[in-house]
Amino acid sequence: MNELPGDQIESWRSVAEGWARQREALWRATRALSERMVELLDPRPGERVLELAAGSGDTGFLAAARLGPEGRLLSTDAAPEMVAAAVRRAEELGLTNVELSVVDAAATGLPGASVDGALCRFGVMLVPDCDAAARELARVVRPGGRVVLAVWAEARGNPWLSAVGRAALELGLIERPTPDEPGPFRLADPGRLRRLVEEAGLRVDVLEDAEVTWRAASLDEWWAIAQDTSQLVRTLAARLGEAGLATLREHAAGGLRAHARPDGSLVVPGKARVVLAGRG
């Protein structure tokens, strides 16, 4: 099933190739977080685990390695090109216990209580109706099952991710997003995140912060990653032209120079929030 607004799906499709191209850089920064998510989920041999908004699939593939040949990972994303990238990655890893498909996170089409656990890393806050996505997770997980979510913490604690948006705001290129508009920092408030999970019918067992460290050889490399993976950069590039985009880049880079080392490389701190929730 696929009920996301068409323009949002197209936005993700437009950056899918770039995400695949930058997979290694993104994975270096976020692997420790994904490992913590899988540790909290504690997948067991023979279980059935769902991953929503899987992107290139690496978080779920960590879980798949623990499910054994009798277990099953359902790796899903709303964008066909993201699923195609995950298929290629699964083949590279030689995984045989994975099913990959195009699925809307708010309406999976799966039977109720049909999976033992579920993962969603940096996806729920991007779904237009994030409450519906949380309810869907609660619906498809069996009683006694586990759900692990990760979202980004506040923008000020994530300069790598927020630099372009802040620069675009300061330059008057975009309007400030509304509090419940889909975006990376939509569920940054831990109280809002807790309410989302509990109102979906799940019990919060763990709510913790997780550090993320982004690295790039230079500001030029950071910008190349941003151009490949940021929907905002893609959207602005289409209307700003070369000179306008250069101005945006310079303005955004100013917020990251404090994290530059003497050799010009960047080491930028970031913060996520992780929830382990259970279904009673």
Per-residue confidence (pLDDT) for residue 2, from 0 to 100: 31
Mean pLDDT of all residues in the chain?
A: 94
* Whole-Å CA distances, 66 to 72, 116, 149, 165: 10, 13, 19, 38
Per-residue confidence (pLDDT) for residue 9, from 0 to 100: 66
DSSP helix/strand/coil, 3: coil
* pLDDT at residue 1 is higher than 60: no
* pLDDT at residue 4 is higher than 50: no
Summarised one tens digit per residue, pLDDT across range 47-96 is 999 999 999 999 999 999 999 999 999 999 999 999 999 999 999 999 99
Percentage, residues of the chain above pLDDT 90:
89
Per-residue confidence (pLDDT) for residue 136, from 0 to 100: 97
* pLDDT at residue 280 is higher than 90: no
Distance CA 131, CA 147 (A): 15
Helices 6-21/231-254 angle, 10° precision: 60
DSSP helix/strand/coil, 183: coil
Per-residue confidence (pLDDT) for residue 18, from 0 to 100: 87
Summarised one tens digit per residue, pLDDT across range 132-171 is 999 999 999 999 999 999 999 999 999 999 999 999 999 9
* pLDDT at residue 5 is higher than 70: no
Candidate from 11-25, 54-68, 103-117 with smallest mean pLDDT: 11-25
* pLDDT at residue 3 is higher than 50: no
Closest CA to 183 of 155, 211, 148, 147: 155
* pLDDT at residue 6 is higher than 60: no
Distance CA 238, CA 230 (A): 13
Summarised one tens digit per residue, pLDDT across range 252-272 is 999 899 999 999 999 999 999
Structure tokens at 167: 């620069």
Contact 55, 81 (CB under 8 A): no
DSSP 258: G
Contact 41, 53 (CB under 8 A): no
* Whole-Å CA distances, 12 to 15, 55, 94, 242: 5, 10, 26, 23
Helices 219-229/23-41 angle, 10° precision: 70
Distance CA 134, CA 84 (A): 25
Q: What is the pTM of this model?
A: 0.94
Summarised one tens digit per residue, pLDDT across range 195-229 is 999 999 999 999 999 999 999 999 999 999 999 99
Q: Which domains does the chain have, with CATH numbers?
A: 6-159+178-213+270-278 (3.40.50.150)
Per-residue confidence (pLDDT) for residue 160, from 0 to 100: 97
Per-residue confidence (pLDDT) for residue 11, from 0 to 100: 72
Per-residue confidence (pLDDT) for residue 7, from 0 to 100: 60
Per-residue confidence (pLDDT) for residue 63, from 0 to 100: 98
* pLDDT at residue 117 is higher than 80: yes
DSSP 10: H
Contacts of 162 (CB under 8 A, 6+ apart): 155, 156, 184, 185, 255
Contact 202, 120 (CB under 8 A): no
